[in-house]
Structure 1
């Protein structure tokens, strides 16, 4: 299994419809939407309005990454807007358990996100609730960062840990994914990758082909 999620954080917002349609035609599997509140991470990106816009532009799955202090506040609206997957951070105040349960109850797939410094074992209590484990391979909150050294070993360790999960859990990686870094992440066990600049910076169709060819 391999899924390429195009992060719209790197798209040209003056021509968003064009970029989304070009990426979809080129073969991306899903679109990744980062919602940042300026508290959990310093940056502010999109609100739920971007999910509404994206739902009108594509029928591909919408993979929403909540970098917010209060993820539970977003769940009902994201479900109403048609998001398929919603991932929340293990590091949120009070823990992610209530938000993960709400995501599942709303009919969406729940994902858990771990920051680079968060031990993998933090995910263990939540494995029955999630279908996706998102490993950050950069520090969250800013696009265009380089892939962190040691990320492939961490992905491989996560794959070994997930062998005992009660059901299959996809490893997704986000940050610094390019045609150069993708092969190592994929071979280590990543089934889904999020790529922004490597998709949208330059000729999109060529970029998508290069990423797929890399594996």
Structure 2
């Protein structure tokens, strides 16, 4: 299993975004997490297609696009053209989850499905064979800097168990409130793709990235 750090640029200094991204790449982060919010599914607005297109050429990292928007099926092709490598959508935001996942796969992209803290992890079960990655939100989506919800650990364990019982090589991503104080708990529960925002970008992004990568490499 690969253990992957996905720094969330939502917490980056946008005046220095290119430099900050390069620091995380040089520090060993394989992914960049790109949070898209529409002000409807979540109570905040972030950035979208033009920003992704503008930064795509600044890094060789995998563009891990997390769509916190209603009916994301409408924008799959646009995000592909802008440079997305992975598109993750929310189960709660899709009228037809199967169709949305199929649209992502048909576009030739890796496919993720996320659930909010209020959603039972069992609701992922019908879709596990259709996705490459399950994203467990460990905070309420919409804002950075929130505290990790402890009950998320059991959701991670249950998701890993469901995947193993089906013989699936499923990535489990966790997003929200993760830092040096609890990253090992999250990894021990069964996650292997870790999203970290302020923990990477507050301070020296390269040094912070290397610190998290040292921990994650110890699990390989």
Query: TM-score under structure 1 normalisation?
Result: 0.96
Query: TM-score under structure 2 normalisation?
Result: 0.94
Shift of 1:17: 0.8
**CA distance in structure 2 between the aligned counterparts of 1:109 and 1:166, rounded to whole angstroms:** 19
**CA distance in structure 2 between the aligned counterparts of 1:163 and 1:196, rounded to whole angstroms:** 29
1:204 aligns with 2:209: no
Shift of 1:166: 5.7
Aligned to 2:175: 174
Q: How many residues align?
A: 215
Aligned to 2:70: 69
**CA distance in structure 1 between the aligned counterparts of 2:159 and 2:44, rounded to whole angstroms:** 28
Shift of 1:214: 3.3
Deviating 4+ runs (over 2 angstroms): 164-167, 212-215
**CA distance in structure 1 between the aligned counterparts of 2:23 and 2:106, rounded to whole angstroms:** 34
Aligned to 1:47: 48
Shift of 1:82: 2.4
Aligned to 1:97: 98
Taking the TM superposition and a 5 Å limit, the aligned residue runs for 1:77-156 are 77-156=78-157
User: CA offsets, 1:15-36, max 9 Å, x none?
Assistant: 1111111111111111000111
Shift of 1:93: 4.4
Cα-Cα RMSD: 1.2
**CA distance in structure 2 between the aligned counterparts of 1:165 and 1:41, rounded to whole angstroms:** 32
Aligned to 1:33: 34
User: CA offsets, 1:60-107, max 9 Å, x none?
Assistant: 100000000120111001112221100000101414221111000000
Kept in 2, the 8 Å contact 1:180–1:214? The answer is no
Structure 2: gaps of 5 or more residues: none
SS in 1 for 2:93: coil
**CA distance in structure 2 between the aligned counterparts of 1:77 and 1:54, rounded to whole angstroms:** 15
Q: Report the more deviating stretch, 11-20 or 75-84.
A: 75-84
**CA distance in structure 1 between the aligned counterparts of 2:101 and 2:11, rounded to whole angstroms:** 27
**CA distance in structure 2 between the aligned counterparts of 1:119 and 1:210, rounded to whole angstroms:** 33
**CA distance in structure 1 between the aligned counterparts of 2:104 and 2:95, rounded to whole angstroms:** 16
SS in 2 for 1:163: helix
Q: Report the more deviating stretch, 109-118 or 75-84.
A: 75-84
SS in 1 for 2:92: coil
Kept in 2, the 8 Å contact 1:137–1:173? The answer is yes
**CA distance in structure 2 between the aligned counterparts of 1:49 and 1:69, rounded to whole angstroms:** 19
